[in-house]
Structure 1
């Protein structure tokens, strides 16, 4: 057994035939065993790849907000903008992109790239024990490593990822359907657009084990594979799949997989244009395609990869073959990926170490990132004999410059091995390949073909593409928005909501199950009212409030409406109502909540506040000694106050209660005042301020024993050196109790 998939489909395994046995003979032998349900080839499948944000190119994104741009029909979109009023998504929601990789370094994707919390980047250790080393942002099952970076020419996977979740509101590029999300890249398609069944199974298994709730599959083929069916059936999340681009073909009669799998966790998506009609290239299916979504001329993210170096390995020009211990490499025209030939080291001997080394380096100057890709054929002793690759700053190759080593193999071509050369950018590098064997069993050998070095720059890149591949991620993005709103949704509930939200259109009737086009707002409405009302207490603030305090509890609900509001004062019985008046001086606590017609109940809110009785300086119960000047100003409590600068003049408040505040003014001409509580001097207050300040609490006391008390404010007749006078102001007294009658 080469690889097991027990965690996804119990008993499912990948095996390779022993040397000398044909693959068909092995398949028949397994198929005839009573303990085997089925046996299929690990085939190579030609994959048919399919609040308004401030992002500067958002206006070009007709699928999200169709205003009639480029001859479209206004409103022929997925209603993304109103849906964002409820949620712009969550990075707690993971969407896996099963494709040709994702450029997680792109400026409009980096912040939404999924990060494996159990992995430490770059330490070459499988920290989380999931079988993939350094899988920080996903996995690459084409190259067999943990780096899912998109290195394809068309950037299909990166384009798909941007439709799902390009970062919104960052002032850059475009916005995804779910502007906040975690995008997990899983590379299963090689640069030649081929897909190995076992790699696809491994990708689905990875998404399932690593917690991706949604799987975007913008891929399609026409051959049925039981292994793939079982893998999708076992996947715990929602798989959103492209219906295919076979120009008006009916999937009911000519299925396209995996979209045509009749599974409860699969959504099949066709494509519409910007007039809300089925795109000319799109497949349809009254029973097998679930809904349509925008797929024509969709603007999204792509990578700026360019070809820095290419060798079809038809000869050894540019390579040194002189370094070997037993025999050199050769050119074979019998086996190759691209004609007419490939580099080969076949019929190798024990203790072999044979190199091909570039004689002219590849220049990586001016690049921000780079990748080495190549195709290889291997049939060597597992764990003993290796195909190895090196990258060096000079033509002298050493073991510490090793970047790739594979042993074993099944006498088949392995496409698009991909190695990150980013650490080497900025200067020239030499590439080298080695066939190395030990002193034990020998097998057939190795071959290398189509050696590429791809380079890229970090500047932003965007383009339009068309296809059901572009329609599918719109649906995946809406699913992500729904999960952000309600993470507890089951896969069945999630699928039902997406389909229930499809907007019925006459021109799509009979072309798909729903007869409609994806609509994010309708899907959100189908989810119902999830949020309770929001209730705000008006007319009262935390801290001091002057009696009488009239409180209004204002409740709002954006969907089903407010059903009731209830409150309780000072721990009393909860009563229905939204208005109350509090007159009793002292400390109070108000608790309240509301509910909507959908049964969502707001969490209880509380507010602690104080109520005081305010007595103006004109109140007859106040004892005033000496002559005071009265002044009328709008800034004053009650519109008037008294002041004097003459020493020993005073105002006395006699009250019953637990506290009192002297309210007055700090001014440029104010002096000092002495404050006496119950006949004892308790404070001398400097009332100077560089700017006049009115209705200020100049002295405050709380926590007095209940009973009669007195507070006397006396003019000291003194000032600090900055003041121009000795004035003392009395505007009012706030009493936690009652002022004593004269």
Structure 2
């Protein structure tokens, strides 16, 4: 599950089926599965020099394990590459139905699931606009505010239906081709041999061949996008759907349950592996930080997270010992922003570093437009907060990923976020793109610094990460084709580097 806003799928499908498949183009000729940890000079890919740091700096140093909280949609805590490093609440006895440690959460052994109750869990939730409209209707169904919100929601629904129609048509033609070929999953070569019978088949065939050339699972991607559109219309923008309705538990404090995996933990599992997948077990991938325990906070549904649940997740993480919090979410409205602001301020007071994704709209942002954000509603900002954009592996104009947001005033650093191979549920592994993949790179680095140098504060660690970046001196190209200086893309003007960061720490007296 990617933590993208509901309309991102409209953008993706339009790109996919108009022949502008930039994501697949960047993912062509996939690099080594561990490229993000490799070194540009030694290995020829613009990784973070993690392996070099372990080999030359960290191998004989003492370390103190650090807890990293993952605020996401759930994590497969039984994954072969993650299970030994999942945080365990030593004060809680699993399965006894009691709050042994008195923190208000029953059986919270590995974290907490805010998307549920004692009656079970849910996966889909509304976007914030639907919740606002629901409240407005209840207050005054004929007010100008209600009408404005209804119009805005109608426009969102229409956009989604338009996107669904587009992909449904393409899917219909594709299924017709597959039926004629007599195979459920033909290869690229087999599609090339197929003789199209009309203009519609010709157009779709071109897209299929292009897609399979870059991604062997392209056909599944088409089906997934089709299902995602249907789900978004059925749940996210449906004012008659409310997963918390008629359940009084959601009006109580500390509601939820201990099921931190949930029904769709793909996104969170992928994030977890990037941070700390076991490095020396010969399986899958190597996480950035070895001495880490991962606390799982299932907070992000398919839809928009509740402000109150984001705030409670942050407070839970801080109160239970997390020193780094990874957050890969964004939404357009924040009606209870003050709750989140107060939780972030609490994290700052307790010396906890927050690492947040910049978003996947592929645009320049002069000011922060989505939530949560480091700027407080009443003024000031969170100092121990890092905003992360996504970079690619080639040291050329494509270094700026096609999807990432950027801006000197809104983004701090860039980190690898294209074609990142990481853990996936049920002991699987998969390549994914996104600022959600770049963010845990930085969280892993922050945890690594805290583990080897525990006396450093969160703000000091942030400054080290920003000052030790590898500066980019050549132009990069935006999704719109504009040539940009990297210094314009983020405040640090570069890409995080584990080796240079750890070397900088060594020189601090």
Which of the five TM-score ranges fits, normalised by the shorter chain?
A: 0.5 to 0.7
Secondary structure of 1:63's counterpart equals: helix
Query: 2:75·2:265 contact (CA, 8 Å) conserved in 1?
Result: no
Structure 2 counterpart of 1:64, from 19, 37, 42: 37
In the alignment, which residue of structure 1 is the partner of 2:271? 160
TM-score, length-normalised on structure 2?
Answer: 0.59
| Alignment of 1:186 onto 2:304 | no
| Alignment of 1:223 onto 2:342 | no
Secondary structure of 1:194's counterpart equals: coil
Change (3 A) 1:234 1:127: same
In the alignment, which residue of structure 2 is the partner of 1:87? 58
Higher relative CO (Cα under 8 Å, sequence separation at least 6) belongs to 2
Give the distance between the partners of 1:76 and 1:148, measured in 2 at CA.
38
Larger radius of gyration: 1
Secondary structure of 1:215's counterpart equals: strand
Change (3 A) 1:46 1:158: same
Give the distance between the partners of 2:31 and 2:294, measured in 1 at CA.
20
| Alignment of 1:198 onto 2:286 | no
In the alignment, which residue of structure 2 is the partner of 1:239? 354
Structure 2 matches for 1:322-721, cutoff 5 A? 460-506=427-473, 507=475, 508-529=486-507
Structure 2 matches for 1:130-149, cutoff 5 A? 130-143=103-116, 144-149=255-260
Secondary structure of 2:325's counterpart equals: strand
- 1:234-292 CA-partner distances (Å, limit 9, x unpaired): 21300000000001x22224523334534201100000011141101000011110000
Give the distance between the partners of 1:210 and 1:260, measured in 2 at CA.
22
| Alignment of 1:209 onto 2:319 | yes
Change (3 A) 1:49 1:246: closer
TM-score, length-normalised on structure 1?
Answer: 0.41
Give the distance between the partners of 2:416 and 2:506, measured in 1 at CA.
25
Structure 2 matches for 1:302-321, cutoff 5 A? 302-304=424-426
Q: Which 5+ residue runs of structure 1 have no aligned equivalent?
A: 1-44, 51-56, 305-459, 531-597, 599-742
In the alignment, which residue of structure 2 is the partner of 1:410? none
- Stretch moving more, 497-506 or 86-95: 86-95
| Alignment of 1:286 onto 2:256 | no
Query: 1:91·1:112 contact (CA, 8 Å) conserved in 2?
Result: no
Q: CA RMSD in A?
A: 2.7
Give the distance between the partners of 2:456 and 2:321, measured in 1 at CA.
14
Give the distance between the partners of 2:280 and 2:455, measured in 1 at CA.
27
Give the C-alpha shift of residue 91 in structure 1. 6.5
Secondary structure of 2:356's counterpart equals: strand
Query: 1:243·1:268 contact (CA, 8 Å) conserved in 2?
Result: yes
Give the distance between the partners of 1:524 and 1:223, measured in 2 at CA.
38
Query: 1:49·1:219 contact (CA, 8 Å) conserved in 2?
Result: no
- Stretch moving more, 142-151 or 122-131: 142-151
Give the C-alpha shift of residue 180 in structure 1. 2.8
Secondary structure of 1:173's counterpart equals: coil
Change (3 A) 1:65 1:137: same
In the alignment, which residue of structure 2 is the partner of 1:443? none
| Alignment of 1:128 onto 2:95 | no
Give the distance between the partners of 1:527 and 1:122, measured in 2 at CA.
43
Secondary structure of 1:300's counterpart equals: strand
Give the distance between the partners of 1:171 and 1:116, measured in 2 at CA.
28
Change (3 A) 1:280 1:68: farther
Q: Which 5+ residue runs of structure 2 have no aligned equivalent?
A: 10-29, 117-254, 376-380, 476-485
Query: 2:391·2:414 contact (CA, 8 Å) conserved in 1?
Result: yes
Give the distance between the partners of 1:272 and 1:122, measured in 2 at CA.
43
Higher percent of residues as helix: 2
Give the distance between the partners of 2:262 and 2:44, measured in 1 at CA.
36
Give the distance between the partners of 1:187 and 1:47, measured in 2 at CA.
19
